[in-house]
Amino acid sequence: MMLLQDTTVRVIGDPRLLSGVDQGRLDHQRHLWTHGAQPDLTREDYLKLTDAVGLRGRGGAAFPVALKLADLPARGIEAVVVNGSESEPVSRKDRLLLTLAPHLVLDGATGLARALGAPHVLIAVHDAEAAMSIREALMERNDGLAIEVADTPGRFVAGEARAVLSALEGGPAVPPGRRVLPTRQGHRRRPTFLSNVETFAQLAVLARLGAKRFSSTGLISEPGTQLLTIDGAVRRPGVIETPTGVPLEAVMQFAGAAAGPVLLGGYHGRWLPHSGGVVLKRPDVSAGIILALGTDTCPLGEVHRVAQWLASQSAGQCGPCVFGLAALVDDFDRLVKGDPAGWHDAERHIGLVPGRGACAHPDGSVRFLASALEAFGEDVRLHLADGGCGRQVRGVLPVPGGSW
Ligand code: SF4
């Protein structure tokens, strides 16, 4: 176990991505002692390896890496982009990797860039400590590629792939109106491989271990390990590396979580009434964020706080997102106060908003709110009958700014 600022780091099983970080940041020499040298692989090698282990991206979308690689054209790939914007407010895993194991992330990105013939590697980061560590790591090695570290803003939608690409070219860090795949039109409108920080660290481990050894732990369908960020009503918040498919209940016990509902997948994720009977795998686990709510706070009041923050994060360019999320905030406000019209309007707006924005923000926000109404049905009944559930809103769910 070690501490990075406010983040505790732990492991269930054998560490892979977090090997050696219990002694602090791995400089290049310690990185090589811990992981060995990065083998030179071809594009075909990466395709076969990622397909064999079913590796999925470790950001929110959990898209299969092999499919993304297969979608790239044979030639003319402009860049490999490491998305380290980690805009989910609770998530800590990517900044932790960039800060403590920067060379593992760089190995994954540069190894793939060489295999794809991409001349540029771009690393988008918004955390100052992580940016400093990755810049220091670049001075400790020579990859023979044009590698650039760019600071990006920390807003929620600024982490969306196309928002990152826009920011990297000096544009606004918001998704453009059209949905275009980075594999077709990415950096400088040219084919680009973009994925999140943990994906590149996984690629570096996979390149070293090969498919068979990589598959010696975790699920058969998606073997290996995963990084999870645990927060909320837990005694030991932080980042945990576990085999894929570990029971949620085991992770919650390990983190010292209070009994009660669990939010799986962050603020675009889903509520579960409790942690029993769930195994942690993609796509459900999304970017690996798990929040315990406990039983001594008002769930609907907590959800309303997060809804206000989610609405504030809209990039303000799509009507259904701007007006729909604002309406849902108002609906939940009235529901919390016991107004049945608030509940009915929330149900109606939840059906109207999804699928109509230029990015996944409204859909993810609605998923979070809809699953709250489902998981907290008894609390809805209490609020409508008595004007409340008898519990204060304690602010268990972290939101930036803290004013919600
Ligand atoms: S859906 Fe919302 S967050 Fe996404 S681009 Fe449109 S306004 Fe911005």
Q: What is the pLDDT along the chain (404 residues), one digit of tens a residue?
A: 444 555 788 999 999 999 999 889 999 999 999 999 999 999 999 999 999 999 999 987 889 999 999 999 999 999 999 999 988 888 999 999 999 999 999 999 999 999 999 999 999 998 999 999 999 999 999 999 999 999 988 778 888 888 999 999 999 888 887 778 899 999 999 999 999 999 999 999 999 999 999 999 999 999 999 999 999 999 999 999 999 999 999 999 999 998 899 999 999 999 999 888 899 998 888 889 999 999 999 999 999 999 999 999 988 888 889 999 999 999 999 999 999 999 999 999 999 988 888 888 999 999 999 999 999 999 999 999 999 999 999 999 998 875 55
What pLDDT shows up at residue 1? 46
C-alpha 290/C-alpha 307 separation (Å) is 17
| DSSP for residue 182 | T
- pTM here is 0.93
Rounded to whole angstroms, how far apart are CA atoms 332 and 309?
Answer: 13
Give the model's pLDDT for residue 3: 46
Cβ–Cβ < 8 Å for 110, 218: no
* Confidence (pLDDT) at 306: 96
Tell me the CA–centroid distance for residue 200 and ligand 1, in Å: 27
Do residues 324 and 332 touch, judged by C-beta distance below 8 A?
no
Three-point CA angle 107, 111, 115, nearest 5°:
175
Distance of CA 296 to the CA centre of its chain: 27
Q: What is the pLDDT of residue 180?
A: 81
Residue with CA at minimum distance from ligand 1 atom 8? 315
Return the best residue to mutate from 162, 164, 165, 321 for the ligand 1 pocket (most ligand atoms within 8 A of CB): 321
H/E run at residue 304: helix 299-312
Give distance in angstroms: CA of 331 to centre of ligand 1. Answer: 20
| Position in ligand 1 atom list of the atom nearest CA 362 | 1
Distance 174 CA to ligand 1 centre (A): 8
SS3 187: helix
Q: Nearest 5°: phi and psi at 299?
A: -60, -40
Atom of ligand 1 nearest to the CA of 160: 4
CA distances from 192 to 14, 58, 183, 187 (A): 33, 17, 5, 6
Whole-number pLDDT of residue 176: 80
Q: Where in the chain is the domain with CATH 3.10.20.600?
A: 225-292
* Positive or negative torsion for Cα 362, 353, 314, 326: negative
**Residue among 322, 361, 363 to mutate when testing ligand 1 (max atoms within 8 A of CB):** 361
Domain with CATH 3.40.50.11540 in the chain: 17-214
Which CATH number does the domain 299-386 belong to among 2.40.50.140, 3.30.460.10, 1.20.1440.230, 3.50.50.60? Answer: 1.20.1440.230
Cα(175) to centroid(ligand 1), Å? 7
Report pLDDT for 404: 58
Let me know: does 50 contact 220? Beta carbons within 8 Å: no
Output the CA 357–ligand 1 centroid distance in Å.
6
Q: Which amino acid is at 95?
A: R
Which ligand 1 atom lies nearest to the CA of residue 314?
Answer: 3
The dotted CATH code for 225-292 is 3.10.20.600
Domain(s) labelled CATH 1.20.1440.230 in the chain stretch across: 299-386
- Domain topology for 17-214: Rossmann fold (3.40.50)
User: What's the CA gap between 81 and 122, in Å, rounded?
Assistant: 5
Lining ligand 1 with CB less than 6 A are 157, 174-175, 314-318, 321-322, 357-359, 361-362
